[in-house]
Amino acid sequence: MNLRKATKADQPTIWRILQQAIEQRRLDGSQQWQQGYPNELTVADDIAQGYAYVLEDNAQTVAYAAIIFGIEPAYNDIQGKWLTRHAPIQID
């Protein structure tokens, strides 16, 4: 397995992975990711900012993650409360 920074060439595969995750959240009854976020522009921005990573198994992309150090702006707008006792840790 290989974890590497994503490139623009990975964008279609990343978007397919995210579409599957969005659908799974919907099937689970979650409202998370049901309002147009993430979207293809989010993926393009993650790649441009250097946040996007893909995990490959035998040269096939099997997972995607945006790894963002510092403050994730989306967490500032969460409605409700965290399901755990602790909020995310900020790494400077």
Bridge partners of 22, per DSSP, are: none
Helix segments in the chain, DSSP class H: 11-27, 40-49
Q: Which amino acid is at 40?
A: E
Per-residue pLDDT in tens (0 to 9) along the chain, 92 residues: 999 999 999 999 999 999 999 999 999 998 888 988 899 999 999 999 999 999 999 999 999 999 988 777 667 777 776 666 655 555 55
pLDDT at 91: 56
Q: Which residue has the tokens 């441009």?
A: 48
Q: Count Cβ atoms within 10 A of the Cβ of residue 1 and give its class: 0-12 exposed, 13-18 middle, 19 or more buried.
A: exposed
pLDDT at 31: 86
Q: What are phi and psi of 19, to 5 degrees?
A: -60, -40
Which CATH architecture describes the domain 2-77?
3-Layer(aba) Sandwich (3.40)
Instruction: Cis check for the bond before 38: say yes or no (omega within 30 of 0).
Output: yes
Domain spans of the chain, in order of start: 2-77
pLDDT at 19: 95
